[in-house]
Amino acid sequence: MTELRNLGLREVRVTGGFWERKIDMVAAEMLPYQWKALNDEVPGAEPSHAMENLRIAAGEKEGEFKGTVFQDSDVAKWLEAASYSLVHHPDPELEARVDEAIRIIAKAQRPDGYVNSYFIVASPEERWADLAWGHELYCAGHLIEAAVANYECSGKTLLLGVARRYADCIGRAFGPEPGKLRAVCGHPEIELALFRLYRATGEERYRDLASFFVDERGRDPSALEDKVPLAFEIPKTRWFRSDYFSGHAPVRLQRDAEGHAVRAVYLYSAMAEEYEASGDPALLAALRSLWDSVTGRRMYLTGGIGSQSHGERFTVDYDLPPDRAYAETCASIGLALWASRMTEIEGDGRYADVFERVLYNGVLSGVSLDGTSYFYVNPLEAEPRIAGARWDLEHVKTSRVRWLGCACCPPNLARIIASVGRYAYGASESSLWIHHYAESEARATVAGSRVLLRQRTDYPWGGKIEVLVDPEAPEGLDFGLKLRIPGWCGAFSCRVNGAAVEDSPVSKGYLELRRRWRPGDRVDLDLVMECRVLCADERISSLAGKVAVQRGPLVYCAEEVDDGPALHALSIDPAAPLRAEYLPDLMGGSVRVTAAGYREEAQAPEGEGRGGIPYAPLSVRREVPVAVRLVPYHQWGNRAPGGEMRVWLRARG
Amino acid sequence: MTELRNLGLREVRVTGGFWERKIDMVAAEMLPYQWKALNDEVPGAEPSHAMENLRIAAGEKEGEFKGTVFQDSDVAKWLEAASYSLVHHPDPELEARVDEAIRIIAKAQRPDGYVNSYFIVASPEERWADLAWGHELYCAGHLIEAAVANYECSGKTLLLGVARRYADCIGRAFGPEPGKLRAVCGHPEIELALFRLYRATGEERYRDLASFFVDERGRDPSALEDKVPLAFEIPKTRWFRSDYFSGHAPVRLQRDAEGHAVRAVYLYSAMAEEYEASGDPALLAALRSLWDSVTGRRMYLTGGIGSQSHGERFTVDYDLPPDRAYAETCASIGLALWASRMTEIEGDGRYADVFERVLYNGVLSGVSLDGTSYFYVNPLEAEPRIAGARWDLEHVKTSRVRWLGCACCPPNLARIIASVGRYAYGASESSLWIHHYAESEARATVAGSRVLLRQRTDYPWGGKIEVLVDPEAPEGLDFGLKLRIPGWCGAFSCRVNGAAVEDSPVSKGYLELRRRWRPGDRVDLDLVMECRVLCADERISSLAGKVAVQRGPLVYCAEEVDDGPALHALSIDPAAPLRAEYLPDLMGGSVRVTAAGYREEAQAPEGEGRGGIPYAPLSVRREVPVAVRLVPYHQWGNRAPGGEMRVWLRARG
């Protein structure tokens, strides 16, 4: 176990490039837009009622609760995101909205600390009565995460106080002691939040309560099964048994990722926290096995997880159909959160590789470039004519929507983008780690002294990264600078102050530069960013014979707007060179890749030897050479929404 | 409009070869087995209760109705099949069972002619109250069809009398006249049956009632919509609107095949009868358009129809995923029935081509070689590990079952196989037509005189057919003998009495030999039966880059028992020659096809450059040459049930 920990949000500042634009978009577009959505002020969008529910719970409005039972969590995630955003984008108007929302939540809190607008307004007699489906502790978790974020980012304590009182209320109700409820929430999240509250406050009782919830799950596999939800209908089928809740076995004995994908990766993230707290090797063994299950056998190329819409869940190994993918945006975010914690635990670049894969592909695809429309489901293949006509594709939307009745994803996107700096750097006792490349500054403590790191890069469009190293001590400081060499990178070069680095080892995915660093030292890392033609594991039957293109961390796709309709008729010649070019006018700046390929043309006249049926001798098949244009997957659907898209194309020859 | 009509069942006798074995199987295995199933005497099979329901309705037993509301129709279809079978396989024991079932049905009939065990036993107050979902007229239709078959095959009149009284009862209740119900059944079938009853009895009122039901459907598109079924639950979704019942538009205005596939093709068959009765060109236009819709854009290579399980229905053009096919056995049977009627109307081999395609592939696949297990759903690709793990493949069974709770298909299979001779020959004023090749004898009247035709052939294993022509008149008879040249056939030769036929035209799929035929004349037709590599229309996205093999009318498939697991890893070289060989020990005699192909092997060791994720540079992909063995699709799943199967394989190169 390394003692590697990520730097905190306040220690890292994104200063330019790809991510500054995304963070600016959160501040300028997403947060104001989402506030309107949460207040039902977006014309044509599905109503949220989330703020209204809280106002009613606070006694400031009359009315009925509306929306899902976990509607509060949308507000909490928005508060968390807004708190992050305010660090780098001070904005009095936004701050006033944040403070107003917090004031209402505080007012809604019951004297014993309880706060949940659904159970206060709609179902006051049912507190803790529907743990399987009520999302009560899930909402509590997001409230606590928002509180810690708000406290850490603003120094304000009102919401933190609310959260502490609520956590104490939960601690009085739940636990292993006689007279308390020995039970867990159907949707993990409280565990993560309590670990975070523990770290923010130092109060060990929060850690212990978090550990209790982690350890309790799956102890009695029937505990969450066949419960009748208070507020909605769930089919009583094999898809909603204990594994749906990751409650089919005690967590230390779990080996394969099962059930609802978001629930699973939130739980695994909490297990990682529990491992960091306890060092229990049984937890590490479970985490490693679950990691291999998720990322080795049940993950899409984009980092998306959950290959079945019904139950939003995992199925079996290598069942990864590109058209019927669920790959919920929130599941991708959860996988990123877990990957970051695994990076801390293992200090191994393979975890950061997955973080990068899912962030740049399966997470960012969830939001339009302007920040105001969203995908809940992220397929790797969209054929609108078919998707609109099939029951088994009803979950697939081929254009992003303005808001969702179940709007978990939009504010979740805002919070991960606004806090992306948290995941970029790490520090261990004698090393500083750069996990992710982004134009940014980081202030860290290593070997007992302060160091400023500054990155300049146009990553992910290019692979050149300049790192300026400034130890505070004028005489310099001995430490290792660990630079992640991504798994996608086949060749790289590195210079320190202009001199080529020849003999520094790459270990577990990191190039370690260990020396006395002096103020003004400069590192130039060049990750050679070639277009790569990838194939899938031969056990993924739906991808047999197909290839995808990746450049750097970005997975590419063909879109109808570039390549015409009937993308299935395209194949690419994987032996031909791929051409990449940065186009400043393409979606505000993007690298387009062009491949040599073929398009199958209409066949010989119908009726000839086939009586009008849609099958004919192969000899009638005709192909013409075409240039196949590809764009980054996360940017799809921004130019001509509702068009076709494909990540995996047939390889010809 | 030709005056072409099929010969009747009693005029044709199958005398050997492929179909004699199937008909023997019906007599020896299917009918006794199904009788047991209908009487709940098959251990381990889903109980039917169908005969018990009728005994209760007849007052011979006490008890409750059990099973689907259309359980009676299973008995009716069995009676129809048994009546056919008894013509060629006299069997006192089977005849006694038939007579016993008829006696019970007659006893169950109410004084006014009504007979339906569900509405008599379970819901006596609800007669005609649930036309959308109650299947009441559907069951009546199958009873009438059974009665006509029993009368025509045995000369007995008890069931025909029951049917006439029931038809009269329906005629008093339904019709365009004031005071009658102006409505149709949710499931077409009564229409077909009444046309048949009209032809058997000459009573025009049955034809008029049939025409009324045909014309009424879709007149008011809301008539069948949003009705609440009495006996079961149907989701109120877009999948169960008026188009589900083919009731979205008046039949003459329908152009695309929509809704439930079985309902649709039963209706189209009735529309064809109505056209034969009326000659209304608006009906012919609708029929031709619907034919092109079904067979040109919505039909699987096997003749299966219905590409969506939910609603057992059509979706949109070219949406034909091989793995998620529904392709219900009954829908294939319905398509065959319709194709035969279209052949009669148009005298065009393209309709008989589809009859042949669906009969030899999508129909026969529904029953095991021993006659005692059944597929309801007939996918073109089965991957048991995935099918068992996905909600959207829950309808796919990868081994045939002993019986079904909804057992429409097994007795429907028995009746079409037992009556297959009905579809083989046709007669028009001055021609005899051989639509289908099978070792058989036919006695027909043409040009005012009697002729005996005898076919000898091992079709479909071989393409050589010997036809002996024996006009009754010793001086011979002038007529045309029309021999179908199947659409699959690229080359053929024909000799009459040993002399090559050079100048006879092939028109609309038939070679016409017009001459004075004399007793003992002999025709030798040789349809060159090569293996053909087929591709799909370029608009079928799920089949892009794939090929299938067909030999004669038989579609082929790869099976795990021959080619190992992971059939998706196979590709075939479409340029290499295919080898066909008849193997007498393979499933009792079959032609196996061997193709040259490749199998993708396990990739380079995991982790190398990919951190354990299931994606890697294409350069690691490895293929080895293999011989790919293929067997006829309809025989799949007979040797090692539960294995993988694929019709469409990737084409390499």
Q: What is the pLDDT of residues B58-75, one digit of tens each?
A: 999 999 999 999 999 999
Residue of A nearest to B555 (CA): A615
Alpha-carbon torsion (B138, B144, B148, B154), positive or negative = positive
Considering only the beta carbons, identify the residue of B538, B547, B569 that sits closest to A600.
B538
Chain B contact for A180 (CB, 8 A cutoff): no
| Nearest by Cα to B217 from B248, B189, B192, B240 | B248
Residues B135-158: what's their mean pLDDT? 98
- CB contacts of B308 in chain A (<8 Å) are 390-392
For residue B609, pLDDT over 50 is answered with no
Considering only the beta carbons, identify the residue of A299, A319, A390 that sits closest to B308.
A390
**How do residues A167-199 score in pLDDT, each as one tens digit?**
999 999 999 999 999 999 999 999 999 999 999
Residues A234-249: what's their mean pLDDT? 94
Q: Do B650 and A544 touch (CB under 8 A)?
A: yes
Q: Measured between alpha carbons, how far is B1 from B284 in angstroms, rounded to an integer? A: 10
Q: Name the token pair of B23.
A: 């008909």
In this structure, are residues B158 and B146 in contact, taking their beta carbons and an 8 Å threshold?
no
Per-residue confidence (pLDDT) for residue A503, from 0 to 100: 83
Q: Name the token pair of B216.
A: 């009424």
Q: Measured between alpha carbons, how far is B161 from A310 in angstroms, rounded to an integer? A: 51
Per-residue confidence (pLDDT) for residue B227, from 0 to 100: 85
Considering only the beta carbons, identify the residue of A295, A611, A617 that sits closest to B533.
A617
Quote the mean pLDDT of chain A: 95
The 10 Å Cβ neighbour count of residue A311 is 22
Count H helices, E strands: chain B?
17, 24
Considering only the beta carbons, identify the residue of A389, A534, A545 that sits closest to B571.
A545
Per-residue confidence (pLDDT) for residue B2, from 0 to 100: 53
Q: Residue B568, class by beta-carbon neighbours within 10 Å (0-12 exposed, 13-18 middle, 19+ buried)?
A: buried
State how far the alpha carbon of A484 is from the alpha carbons of A282, A350, A541, B507, in Å: 28, 10, 33, 73
- CB contacts of A533 in chain B (<8 Å) are 617-618
Q: Measured between alpha carbons, how far is B556 from B646 in angstroms, rounded to an integer? A: 9
In this structure, are residues A487 and A353 in contact, taking their beta carbons and an 8 Å threshold?
yes
Per-residue confidence (pLDDT) for residue B305, from 0 to 100: 98
Is residue B608 very low, low, confident or very high in pLDDT (cuts 50, 70, 90)? Answer: very low
Q: Do B308 and A392 touch (CB under 8 A)?
A: yes
- CB contacts of B545 in chain A (<8 Å) are 545, 571, 650
Per-residue confidence (pLDDT) for residue B504, from 0 to 100: 81
In this structure, are residues B582 and B590 in contact, taking their beta carbons and an 8 Å threshold?
yes
Angle, vertex CA B69, rays to CA B84 and CA B52, nearest 5: 65
Interface of A with B in 385-444 (CB under 8 A): 385-386, 389-392
Per-residue confidence (pLDDT) for residue A606, from 0 to 100: 47
For residue B391, pLDDT over 50 is answered with yes
Per-residue confidence (pLDDT) for residue B605, from 0 to 100: 53
Q: Measured between alpha carbons, how far is B204 from B517 in angstroms, rounded to an integer? A: 38
State how far the alpha carbon of B391 is from the alpha carbons of A301, B242, B323, B401, in Å: 22, 26, 13, 19
Is residue B511 very low, low, confident or very high in pLDDT (cuts 50, 70, 90)? Answer: very high
Query: Coil, helix or strand for B413?
Result: helix
For residue A605, pLDDT over 90 is answered with no
Residue of A nearest to B491 (CA): A609
**How do residues A31-57 score in pLDDT, each as one tens digit?**
999 999 999 999 988 889 999 999 999
- Backbone dihedral region for residue A624 (phi beyond 0: left; psi -120 to 50: alpha; all else: beta): beta
- CB contacts of A611 in chain B (<8 Å) are 295, 349-350, 353-354, 487, 509
Residues ≥6 apart with Cβ < 8 Å to A607? none
Q: Name the token pair of B422.
A: 């009905």
Beta bridge partners of B646: B381, B558
Is residue B1 very low, low, confident or very high in pLDDT (cuts 50, 70, 90)? Answer: very low
Per-residue confidence (pLDDT) for residue A611, from 0 to 100: 64
Per-residue confidence (pLDDT) for residue B606, from 0 to 100: 47
The residue type at B193: A
Look at the block and give the residue holding tokens 């810690």: A148
Is residue B611 very low, low, confident or very high in pLDDT (cuts 50, 70, 90)? Answer: low
Suggest the residue from A239, A294, A391 to mutate for an interface test with chain B (most B CBs closer than 10 A): A391
Q: Measured between alpha carbons, how far is B301 from B365 in angstroms, rounded to an integer? A: 13
Per-residue confidence (pLDDT) for residue B621, from 0 to 100: 84
Residue A211 CA to chain centroid, in angstroms? 24
Suggest the residue from A560, A615, A624, A644 to mutate for an interface test with chain B (most B CBs closer than 10 A): A615
Give the alpha-carbon dihedral of B463, B378, B188, B252, to 10 degrees.
-70
Percentage of chain B with pLDDT > 70? 98
Residues A307-332: what's their mean pLDDT? 98
Residues ≥6 apart with Cβ < 8 Å to A622? A600, A601, A602, A603, A604
| Helix or strand run (H / E) with residue A517 | strand A510-517
**How do residues B271-309 score in pLDDT, each as one tens digit?**
999 999 999 999 999 999 999 999 999 999 999 999 999
Q: Residue B636, class by beta-carbon neighbours within 10 Å (0-12 exposed, 13-18 middle, 19+ buried)?
A: buried
Per-residue confidence (pLDDT) for residue A67, from 0 to 100: 95
For residue B225, pLDDT over 80 is answered with yes
Residues B328-334: what's their mean pLDDT? 98
| Radius of gyration of chain A, Cα coordinates, nearest whole angstrom | 25
Angle between helices A329-346 and A281-297 (to 10 degrees): 130
Per-residue confidence (pLDDT) for residue A653, from 0 to 100: 67
Q: Measured between alpha carbons, how far is A462 from A484 in angstroms, rounded to an integer? A: 15
The order of strands in the sheet holding A477-484 is: A5-6, A425-427, A431-434, A477-484, A510-517, A506-507
Considering only the beta carbons, identify the residue of A301, A390, A620 that sits closest to B319.
A390
Higher pLDDT, B577 or B653: B577
Q: Where are the beta strands (DSSP E) in B537-621?
A: 546-551, 554-559, 570-572, 579-583, 590-601, 615-617
Q: How many CA atoms lie less than 13 Å away from B644 in the CB half-sphere? A: 18
Q: Measured between alpha carbons, how far is A283 from A296 in angstroms, rounded to an integer? A: 19
| Nearest by Cα to B334 from B280, B271, B281 | B271
Residues B5-29: what's their mean pLDDT? 96
For residue A64, pLDDT over 90 is answered with yes
For residue B235, pLDDT over 90 is answered with no
Q: Measured between alpha carbons, how far is A639 from A352 in angstroms, rounded to an integer? A: 31
Chain B contact for A380 (CB, 8 A cutoff): no
Percentage of chain A with pLDDT > 70? 98
Q: Do B544 and A490 touch (CB under 8 A)?
A: no
Q: Name the token pair of A613.
A: 């049926």
Per-residue confidence (pLDDT) for residue A607, from 0 to 100: 42
| Nearest by Cα to A3 from A322, A433, A361, A420 | A433
Considering only the beta carbons, identify the residue of A297, A542, A571 that sits closest to B545.
A571
Chain A contact for B315 (CB, 8 A cutoff): yes
Q: Measured between alpha carbons, how far is B316 from B322 in angstroms, rounded to an integer? A: 15
Beta bridge partners of A433: A426, A482
Q: Measured between alpha carbons, how far is B570 from B566 in angstroms, rounded to an integer? A: 8
Is residue B604 very low, low, confident or very high in pLDDT (cuts 50, 70, 90)? Answer: low
Residues ≥6 apart with Cβ < 8 Å to B73? B135, B138, B139, B142, B143, B189, B408
Q: Do A541 and B609 touch (CB under 8 A)?
A: no
Chains A–B, number of C-beta pairs less than 8 Å apart: 184
For residue A14, pLDDT over 90 is answered with yes
Q: Do A318 and B538 touch (CB under 8 A)?
A: no
**How do residues A374-392 score in pLDDT, each as one tens digit?**
999 999 999 999 999 999 9
Q: How many CA atoms lie less than 13 Å away from A111 in the CB half-sphere? A: 0
Interface of B with A in 263-302 (CB under 8 A): 292, 295-297, 299, 301
Q: Measured between alpha carbons, how far is A34 from A371 in angstroms, rounded to an integer? A: 9
For residue B467, pLDDT over 90 is answered with yes
Is residue B585 very low, low, confident or very high in pLDDT (cuts 50, 70, 90)? Answer: very high
Residues ≥6 apart with Cβ < 8 Å to B462? B529, B582
In this structure, are residues B378 and B325 in contact, taking their beta carbons and an 8 Å threshold?
yes
Q: Measured between alpha carbons, how far is A259 from B272 in angstroms, rounded to an integer? A: 51
Chain B contact for A463 (CB, 8 A cutoff): no
Suggest the residue from A298, A346, A541 to mutate for an interface test with chain B (most B CBs closer than 10 A): A541
Give the alpha-carbon dihedral of B399, B400, B403, B407, to 10 degrees.
120
For residue A603, pLDDT over 80 is answered with no
Q: Which of B189, B273, B312, B439 is catalytic?
A: B312
